[in-house]
Structure 1
Amino acid sequence: MPPRLCLATVSDETFATGTEVLLHSFLRYNPWFSGDVVVFADALSQQTRARLSRLHPVRFEAPDPRLVEVSADLQARHPALSAKHLRFLSLEAFRLSHYDRVLFCDSDIYCAGDVSALFSRDEPFLASDDGYTYEDRLTPLLRANGYGAIASETRYGRQHDGSSPGRTFSSGVMALSPPWLGEATYTALLETMAAHDFTGERVFTDQAVLNTHVRGRYTTVSGAYNYRVLLEDYIRYAEDVPYPDARLIHFAGTIKPWNDYAPADLAAYDARYFKYIDVWRQMLEDARKAEGANGVGERILAQLALTDRDAGVSGVPGVMGRVW
């Protein structure tokens, strides 16, 4: 029998446009995929569900009540988690035990190439290095160029007993197979989540839980499969992966492509975002083209006017002056 495959993600109304681009771009570059798409969400409007389902038959799943209970208890003890609690829904991917392979992707990712390797490899847990591990890997390069080591914050899994968790990974993209899929792993993750002390952790939620539980029992894959814009230079210099070679582009961090930013402000923050956001927005337009959304007709006519204007500037009248 063919393997049972699944693409899974987490969404809410804020991230739903990102989910739309993730699904469209994934299906565009992976036409071979005939598996299921699962979206974990605790609240999505019918309109949003219909929009996502136009791209592919989507199964929407609410989080397990046990995770909801643990999350509520954590939020009561650590109010800072209230704005981030949906990140814990990535753990739900581990209870999809009826699949041979589950690819979990955050919804602020777009696909830029074929990712069949993540489904076909034999290792049961694939993930890319996180920022901490890239810093460890780049320390020799820094020292060779006369700089000191990067002074990282105390990372998850190390803060209580002083021991090092070794290599750690990003939870934004994970390729999972049995024995990692199933009730045993899911229950253990909930126990780790409930016992974890999130005091002082500003960002890491599910990633802290996963690295604390997994403790290096996974296989590292290229950052091309989790190309975080925030870590572009880390990935380039640690792995020699330039951005045109990336397969999954991840807007980890504050900047999200569905938000509007003043160009000057975005340039001051990090000008490299422009090239990624431009591609993401083209993907969104492509995803909605059938609906006539985003003024497709108007854009085509504007392009026609631009080519005609260019022809006039060049001194060659009419369509013959267009440069294709």
Structure 2
Amino acid sequence: MQSPATSANCLVVLTDLLYLPGTRRLITSWRLHQPPLPIIVLSAQEEALRDPFLCAHCHRRIPINPAPYADIRPYQKRRSRRHAQTFFKFEAFGDFGFERNLFLDSDILCLRETPALLAPGTVPLRAARDTGFRKTRAYKGHAIEINSGVLSIGRAIQGAATIARLQDIARTQPGRGGYNAGDQGIVNKWIHRDGIDVELLPPEYNLIKKDYADTTGLADCRLLHFAGHKPWLGQRHHGDSGPPVRALEQLWHEGRRGTGLPIGET
């Protein structure tokens, strides 16, 4: 790993015991295709931070204090096992001493290099559009709705003030569900209410494949986002009407299906 003195960027990941398999796979795939960066892992669970893989591969392991989040109303996402913990993503906006924090969700697989994500510059925030966004009766959204799974956070918006602002919006203006709830909804509200400049990344920097039907469309994919069901949580079925959905799950496990790229073992 590069030392902080020789790197302008750091990779920031958020994990817990449920997401540890995804975090390990993300870091392994990232290190295969990217220049070495200091890796900072955040978690509210000390046991997760003691994971031997994280101890070996991460520059810093930082515990999250859950107290400031205690009065933020959890959003009730159906079948979610995390709820309020997703708001801990706000901690990725902390000042860790780098020009840019590169945040990736722990359900992302890196398939190729990501030069646009690593590029220097003073733009406060880089992110890709949320291609799955749909207006609801309660939330019409904005001209641009980003997906918060991939973020390049510039120094201008790093620090305690940004974290406190995000917490305040989550506390005082929560969504009722769907796209205006959870960390992503709060980040989008903050962007538009505070006039945060966003540079859009190409779709291949956050390709969301919720259905896991096959590996088509991955020829140019750089960061594959397993939104929805997580591949390390077991097989998923389409009820009684079809076979288990396996192709992209196998890509996550093996790293060879569809691209020929070895992801390695964790």
On whether the aligned pair clears a TM of 0.5, the verdict is yes
Contact 2:29-2:109 within 8 A present in 1 as well: yes
The equivalent of 2:25 in structure 1 is 21
User: Which residues in structure 2 correspond to 1:96-245 (within 5 Å)?
Assistant: 96-122=95-121, 123-131=123-131, 152-154=135-137, 156=139, 158=140, 165-201=142-178, 204-215=181-192, 217-230=197-210, 242-245=217-220
Deviation at 1:53, TM superposition (A): 2.8
Superposed CA offset, 1:16-59 (max 9, x none)? 000000000000111x22x31111111142796212233x2342
Deviation at 1:166, TM superposition (A): 2.1
Instruction: Quote the residue 2:253 is aligned against.
Output: 281
Match of 1:256 among 212, 230, 236: 230
Asked whether the equivalents of residues 206 and 223 of structure 2 are also in contact (C-alpha less than 8 Å), the reply is: yes
C-alpha separation between the residues in 2 aligned to 1:14 and 1:266? Answer: 28
Q: What is the rounded CA distance, in whole Å, between the counterparts of 1:7 and 1:125 in structure 2?
A: 15
Q: 2:41 corresponds to which residue?
A: 39
| Deviation of 1:74 (Å) | 2.2
Q: TM-score, normalised by structure 2?
A: 0.80
What are the superposed Cα offsets for residues 238-267 of structure 1, whole Å, 9 maximum, x if unpaired? xxx9312111111111x1110221667598
Cα contact 1:127–1:175 (8 A) shared by 2: yes
- Deviation digits for residues 196-248 of structure 1 (CA, Å, limit 9, x no counterpart): 22324478411011000111631111111111102899xxxxxxx93121111
Residues 129-148 of structure 1, C-alpha deviations (whole Å, 9 max, x = no match): 11355x6xxxxxxxxxxxxx
Code of the aligned partner of 1:258: W
Return the offset for 1:91. 0.8
Compared CA separation, residues 154 and 230, structure 1 to 2 (3 A): farther
User: Do the aligned partners of 2:180 and 2:186 also contact (CA within 8 Å) in 1?
Assistant: no
> How far is 1:13 from its partner?
0.8
**Percent pairwise identity:** 22
Any conservation in 1 of the 2:29–2:263 contact (CA below 8 Å)?
no
Q: Which has the larger radius of gyration?
A: 1
Q: Partner of 1:175: helix, strand, or coil?
A: strand
Q: What is the CA-CA distance between 1:101 and the residue it aligns to?
A: 1.2
- Tell me how far apart the structure 2 counterparts of residues 266 and 286 of structure 1 sit (CA, whole Å): 34
In 1, the alpha carbon distance for the partners of 2:49 and 2:161 equals 36
Runs of 5+ in structure 1 lacking a partner? 136-151, 159-163, 234-240, 289-324
What amino acid does structure 2 have at the position aligned with 1:60?
A: R
Instruction: Report how far residue 190 of structure 1 moved.
Output: 1.9
> Alpha carbons of 1:90 and 1:200: their partners in 2 closer, same or farther (altered >3 Å)?
closer
Matched residue SS, 1:171: coil
Partner of 2:258 in structure 1?
A: none
Map 1:66-77 → 2, pairs under 5 A: 68-75=66-73
- Does residue 7 of structure 1 match 2:5? no
Q: Distance in 2 between matches of 1:79 and 1:185?
A: 21
**CA 1:200–1:24: 2 relative to 1, 3 Å:** closer
Structure 2 counterpart SS, 1:45? helix
Give the drift of 1:126. Answer: 0.6
Give the superposition deviation at 1:124: 2.8
Q: Residues 282 and 97 of structure 1: is their aligned pair in 2 closer, same or farther, counting only changes over 3 Å? A: same
Moved over 4 A (4+): 262-267
Q: Deviations over 1:166-211 (max 9, x none)?
A: 2110000001112111233222222212212232447841101100
Question: Contact (CA 8 Å) 2:130, 2:145: kept in 1 or not?
Answer: yes
Are the counterparts in 1 of residues 94 and 163 from structure 2 also a CA contact under 8 Å?
Answer: yes
Supply the distance in 1 between the matched residues of 2:155 and 2:240 (Cα, whole angstroms): 42
Give the number of equivalent residue pairs: 247
Choose between structure 1 and 2: higher helix proportion.
1
